[in-house]
Amino acid sequence: MVRRLLPSDWFAGSMGPGANARPRGELPVQRRTFLAAGAAATVLPGVAGAQVGNPVLAKWTGPHGGVAAFDKVRVADFRPAIEAAIAEHDREITAILADKRPPNFANTLAPLERSGRALDRATTVYGVFSGTLSTPEFRDVEKELDPKLSAHYDAVNQNPALYERVKAVYATRQTAGLTPEQQRLAWFYWKTFDRAGAGLAPAARARVVAINQQLSTLFNRFNENLLADEETFSEVTTAQMAGLPPSVVDAAKASAVERKLSAAGAIVNTRSSVEPYLSYATDRASRERIWRKFVNRGDNGGAHDNNAIIRDILKLRVERARLKGFATHAHWRLDDAMAKTPEAAMALMEKVWGPAVQRVHEEVADMQAIANREGARITIEPWDYRFYAEKVRAAKYDLDLNEARPYMQLEKMREAMFWTAGQLHGLTFAQVHDIPVHHPDVRTWEVRNGAGAQVGVWYFDPFARGGKRSGAWMNQYRSQEKFEGPIVAVVSNNCNFVEGAAGQPVLISWDDATTLFHEFGHAVHGMLSAVNYPSLSGTAVQRDYVEFPSQLNEHWLPTRQVLNRFALHYQTGRPIPTALVDKIKKAEKFNQGFDTVEFLASALIDMKLHLAGDVTIDPDAFERTELAKLNMPREIVMRHRTPQFGHVFSSDGYSAGYYSYLWADVLTADCAEAFGAAPGGFFDKATADRLRRTILSRGNSIEPAQQFRDFRGRDPDPAALMRKRGFPV
């Protein structure tokens, strides 16, 4: 059965990278996918015979534990495949309900874990196309299938007879001789069905189903509008590219050529293109023009404006929450999170907000002083912040992060991630060429542990292209399990770098390299899982816990062991100078005001929107009013303004949950201090073994707070977060 936090989470989106103190990308909600190895691609006997040979439905077979036949899939395959898989899943659920014996683990939860495997495979491939190959033809199919999938998952999760069976197993879990993991699975299913509204009266259940279908359509429209705005671009002249690093200039030129423009360059309206421009371009008027285009995605009126969609989503969410007995959508969402309540999440955010805003005022004063000394005759504006931050960095720390770029070769950073995972966890990576992929850019590796046993397959999709959503993310194509035999994880990391000139290495920023390590942390979390049941496997944990292992993985990039081996100049092959590394380390807490406020503004608005109740909200007006109440510094905008906030409005995935990155960073900071205090530092073997044993291998088989206590010996200390960011404790 698919792991469902709620039906609409199934098609959660995936968003963009960030910097040290802010989220680097979304981990989409995991669809638990099953497959069995075999000699040839076949379709389960129960699936509609007319679909025999449909590659979307086919069992994942062949080498490396079995993989999807991505190379055979066509858009026309999705509609019949998913309809047939839904029908098969319905038959499996009917068979569970037909069992007249008293409900127990063997006749209820075990078959639920086995059910839906054809649908899992189909929706995994469907999700990959949605995120990375979204053509107009595919979007037409999405508009039809998303509501059908939502309705199907509701029909399962809200089935009252199935809920009664699950509830009966849950009630006797401690006296029925179940293992601890089986008891956790019983809790998981009970919680999932209960939160979906299976215990509601028929009329209320029917209304929840209708709301979920409406939401699925609205999510699709929001995402389509955002993607349309992100596919636009700004033309720039050679003069307007002054100050940009050569690799960024090359990328802008390549974007212009790709679009058959006569302009010297093009800055695509995505974060990975815009932020480097804002950081280094000396032409202030062009910075403003490109900044305004970027921050107004989804907010320009016309066909692609998202404000009315957001208003409707918010009203439907609060209605659904109240039908389920919760005061607001935020209370419902956090009922199954580490934070437990919106009040707890708000308390953490408010604790950090004040010191972060004060730091922003200090940062702006430093910038304004430089602008004044240079005779710029300006007042620092949002489109100046990144540009002048680099000047302050150079003045205070004698550091221009652009100096690091020639040492940040994409392929070397990938090798660095592999090496780090090997040193910490004994993992080895061997590139393989016999795995079908969905695009020529995608490459694959087989992953083994220190004992030589395969633990996963890793897909790498690094480059931007039309139809691929922006940012960086990890996907779990298949979860590890032991229930149906030893089945290894299949995961992917996805980025949006721009390919350089032929034969030239792709050079990335320090921040991009950190993003790579972050997303790879999600992948390692998925591949090191060692649980029995796929619903509890890998990254299938609470939203405000899942970012903890990935944020922790960022800490290995700046270690000397990594940089000396892999941060090599693309022309000379020499390692990054020790003096430059020392400057980077010395400046670790630089710009934390900006990083924290930019993120927290989005997180606070997200929570406030979902605590507002059933009032009709004008998203733009609400954003302005609430930010004014927070005394938002005028020189910064939210990292994700409301009309482009895909984390929150392209699915239910991070709705009332964007705070999760901050919550997880409390755990991250505390855990990092444990490594820092260990005899071997961040490569201390005993500490890494303990991390793998208590956290990375556990999935959701043990309550997350207990996992952290098992690692640290106590609950997390929020003061570690303040120390990490350089704020007063």
Phi, psi of 398 (to 5 degrees): 55, 40
In a domain, 609, yes or no: no
Specify whether 108 is located in the same domain as 140. yes
Specify whether 244 is located in the same domain as 123. no
**What DSSP element (H or E) covers 335?**
none
What average pLDDT does the segment 8-20 reach?
31
Indicate if the pLDDT at residue 140 is higher than 70: yes
- Domain span at residue 248 reads 233-298
User: Which alpha helices (H) appear in 270-409, and where do they start and end?
Assistant: 271-280, 284-295, 307-323, 329-334, 342-373, 382-397
pLDDT tens readout for residues 685-704: 999 999 999 999 999 999 99
Q: What is the structure's pLDDT at 208?
A: 96
The torsion defined by the Cα of 575, 580, 582 and 587, in degrees rounded to 10, comes to: -140
Q: What is the structure's pLDDT at 501?
A: 76
What's the predicted TM-score (pTM) here? 0.89
Q: What is the structure's pLDDT at 504?
A: 87
In a domain, 154, yes or no: yes
Q: What's the CA gap between 221 and 302, in Å, rounded?
A: 13
Q: What is the structure's pLDDT at 53?
A: 87
Sign, CA dihedral 688-693-699-700, equals negative
Indicate if the pLDDT at residue 309 is higher than 60: yes
Indicate if the pLDDT at residue 403 is higher than 60: yes
Question: How many CB atoms are located within 10 Å of the residue 714 CB?
Answer: 9
What average pLDDT does the segment 392-417 reach?
95
In a domain, 386, yes or no: no
Indicate if the pLDDT at residue 12 is higher than 70: no
Question: How many CB atoms are located within 10 Å of the residue 45 CB?
Answer: 8
For residue 113, CA distances in Å to 57, 177, 189 come to 18, 19, 10
Domain boundary among 228, 257, 283: 228
In a domain, 272, yes or no: yes
In a domain, 316, yes or no: no
Phi, psi of 497 (to 5 degrees): -75, 155
For residue 637, CA distances in Å to 248, 269, 599, 604, 618 come to 24, 16, 9, 13, 18
Specify whether 135 is located in the same domain as 242. no
In a domain, 387, yes or no: no
Phi, psi of 8 (to 5 degrees): -75, -15
In the chain, the amino acid numbered 430 is A
Under a CB-based contact definition with an 8 Å cutoff, are residues 410 and 497 in contact? yes
In a domain, 554, yes or no: no
For residue 344, CA distances in Å to 331, 341, 349, 397, 503 come to 11, 5, 9, 37, 52
Under a CB-based contact definition with an 8 Å cutoff, are residues 601 and 300 in contact? no
Q: What is the structure's pLDDT at 24?
A: 37
Q: What is the structure's pLDDT at 198?
A: 96
Specify whether 290 is located in the same domain as 195. no
For residue 159, CA distances in Å to 110, 154, 172, 536, 598 come to 17, 8, 20, 22, 42
Specify whether 164 is located in the same domain as 270. no
Indicate if the pLDDT at residue 14 is higher than 90: no
Indicate if the pLDDT at residue 18 is higher than 60: no
Predicted confidence band of residue 372 (pLDDT cuts 50, 70, 90): very high
Specify whether 68 is located in the same domain as 208. yes
Specify whether 38 is located in the same domain as 117. yes
Pick the range with the lowest mean pLDDT from 132-136, 138-142, 442-446, 497-501.
Answer: 497-501
Helix (H, G, I), strand (E, B) or coil at 446: strand
∠ Cα 33 35 39 (to 5°): 155
Predicted confidence band of residue 407 (pLDDT cuts 50, 70, 90): very high
In a domain, 146, yes or no: yes
pLDDT tens readout for residues 265-304: 999 999 989 999 999 999 999 999 999 999 999 999 999 9
Predicted confidence band of residue 52 (pLDDT cuts 50, 70, 90): low
Q: What's the CA gap between 411 and 135, in Å, rounded?
A: 29
Under a CB-based contact definition with an 8 Å cutoff, are residues 216 and 149 in contact? yes
**What DSSP element (H or E) covers 18?**
none
Specify whether 184 is located in the same domain as 286. no
Under a CB-based contact definition with an 8 Å cutoff, are residues 250 and 507 in contact? no
Q: What is the structure's pLDDT at 62?
A: 87
Domain boundary among 199, 228, 257: 228
Contacts of 246 (CB under 8 A, 6+ apart): none
∠ Cα 634 349 515 (to 5°): 80
Indicate if the pLDDT at residue 438 is higher than 80: yes
Average pLDDT, the chain: 92
Q: What is the structure's pLDDT at 47?
A: 52
Specify whether 55 is located in the same domain as 171. yes
Indicate if the pLDDT at residue 46 is higher than 60: no
Q: What is the structure's pLDDT at 600?
A: 98
Specify whether 133 is located in the same domain as 241. no
How many domains does the structure of the chain reveal? 2
Specify whether 219 is located in the same domain as 287. no
Q: Active-site residue numbers?
A: 519
Indicate if the pLDDT at residue 541 is higher than 90: yes
Predicted confidence band of residue 51 (pLDDT cuts 50, 70, 90): low
What average pLDDT does the segment 152-164 reach?
96
Specify whether 242 is located in the same domain as 213. no
- For residue 447, what is the DSSP state? E
CATH number at residue 31: 1.20.1050.40
Q: Which residue has the tokens 């000047």?
A: 391
pLDDT tens readout for residues 562-571: 999 999 999 9
Indicate if the pLDDT at residue 160 is higher than 70: yes
Domain boundary among 243, 276, 298: 298
Q: What is the structure's pLDDT at 10?
A: 32
